[in-house]
Amino acid sequence: MSLNRRRVAIIGAGFGGLYAAKELARHPDRVAVTVIDRHNYHLFQPLLYQVAVGLLSPEDIAYPIRSIFSANKNVTVLKGLVRSVNTSRQTVQLSDFSIPYDYLIVGCGVQSDYFGHDDWAKFAPGLKTIRDALYMRMRILNTFELAERKSDPGLLNFVIIGGGPTGVELSGALAELSKIVLKNDFRNIRAEQASIYLIEAGAHILPGFPAKLIAAAEHALKRLGVTIMTNTRVTNITGNSAEIESSTGKKIIQSQTVLWAAGVKAAAIPDFFLHAHGFEFDNKMRIIVNADLSFGEHGNIFIIGDMAHVRQEDGRPLPGVAPVAMQQGRYAAQRILADIKGKTLPDFNYRNKGNLAVIGRNAAVANLGFLQMKGFAAWLVWVFVHIGYLIGYQKKALVMLNWAWNYIRKKSSARIVFGCEDRDVGHPLPKCPE
C-alpha cells in the first residue's frame, strides 16, 4: 500500500458523492477517501414519495453508508455536519475537528424552494428527506382520521404544488391510496371521494417530456380522478387553504393538506467556503462550475449533483436528477485519478439515458430517447430501473416483494401513524382527537 496516497474528502453521500466514492474505492494505492454525511445512510430519493403514501418503509430505501464500503479499507465514513471549508489550508471543518484534503468533492444536495415564501413551509411540506416523507405520511393519514370524526368535506381536499415528476408521481400515488388502499377502511367518510388537485405554473405537467407522453400522463391522472390545473400559480398557503391564480381569476381551495413539489434550490452555502474566490451562483443558489466540474480557480475542488450549475450547449443547466449526479460523481473521481497520474480528461459530457415517471398501477411514461413508451410497458421499465439502482441485493428483493404483495392485495402495510405529534420532525401536525 502506497504511503503517498492523495487525500480525497467527499461532502455528501447522495448519488453524486456515493458514485464518486465507489469509483475512488477501486484505487486504494492512489487515494484515501473520507466520506462525510449528516446521516449514516444513503437515501434513494426517487422513491421517497412511496414512503410518504405508505407503500414502502424508510428502511426499504435507505442503506448504511458504512456497509457499502465495509470491504474498502481506503474509505473512511464520518457522520457529522460540515461547518466550513478552508480552501487556503485545504481543510474541512466539522464541529469538533478538521479533515485535511488534497482534493475535495462537494455534493450537498438541495432543499425545497418556496420562491421567497419560506413561511409556507410549515403548511406545505416538501419531500427531500426521510423526515419529510414520514411527516407527509402523518399529515395525509391524520387528515383521513380527522375527516372520519368531522363532517367537513374540505378535509378531503389534497393539493400538490408542482407538476414535475415528483408532483405527478405523488398525485397518482395519493389517488390510489384513497381510491384503492383506504376504500373500505372508514365508516363515516368515503375515502375514494377525496379530491386531489395538481397545480402547475407552466403550460403543462412533466416539462421536458415529449407531448405524446405528457398527454398520456394527463389521461392516466384524470382517470384516477386527479384535477390538473396548469398555467396556475400559488399566491398564498395557510393551514386551511391554498390560494391559486390563473387567467380566469383567483380561487381558494379549502385544504389542510398541501404538499410541495414545485421547486428546489441548492443547500445554503454562503459561509461554507472560506478564502474561496470565483464563486458565481444562479437564481437557485447553484454554483456555476467550469466544464470539468471545478469552480473558479480551484482546480482541486469539484461541485457535483444538485449544487452544480453545468451549462449545456443551449445555455440551460443540467436537470437536478439522479442520473446527472451519478455521472458527475464518477467523472469527478476519474478526473482526480487522471490528475494524480499526470493525465487529463475531456470536459464533462452528460449522456441522457431518458426520463421516467410513474402515475400508478400499470401506468407510467418513459422517454428513452430512441423509444417512447406509456402504460404497462413503461411501468415495467420504471419498476426494473428503480430496482436496479437500489443498493444491495436484499433491498432489491425486499422492495420487489413489497411491490408485488401490495400489487396483488391492493393494500399497503406501512400506514402506521406513530404518535400525534413528532416535534423532532420540525413541522406542526394536525392536533389529535381529544
Distance CA(39)–CA(314), nearest Å, equals: 37
35: cell is 466520506
- Four-CA torsion 273, 276, 277, 283, nearest 10 degrees: -10
Say how far residue 432 (Cα) sits from the centre of its chain. 29
Q: List for the chain the helix, strand, coil content (%; round to 5).
A: 35, 25, 40
Strands 294-295 and 98-100: unpaired
110: cell is 438541495
Element (H, E) at 9: strand 6-11
For residue 99, give the nearest of 118, 86, 115 by alpha carbon.
86
Alpha helices in 26-161 (DSSP H): 48-52, 65-68, 130-149
Strand partners, 325: none
Q: Give me Rg for the CA atoms of the chain.
A: 22
- Contact predicate 417/138, CB 8 Å: yes
For residue 228, give the nearest of 166, 173, 168 by alpha carbon.
168
> Which one is catalytic: 23, 145, 169, 200?
169
- Contact predicate 131/161, CB 8 Å: no
Distance CA(329)–CA(343), nearest Å, equals: 18
- Four-CA torsion 190, 245, 257, 230, nearest 10 degrees: 70
Strand partners, 6: 31
Distance CA(330)–CA(307), nearest Å, equals: 16
Is 313 among the residues known to form the active site?
no
Instruction: Give phi and psi for 77, each to the nearest 5.
Output: -110, 130
Look at the chain and count its residues. Answer: 434
Indicate the DSSP class of residue 281: B
- Four-CA torsion 395, 398, 401, 402, nearest 10 degrees: -100
First to last CA, the chain: 65
60: cell is 426499504
Distance CA(377)–CA(366), nearest Å, equals: 9
The residues assigned a catalytic role are 169
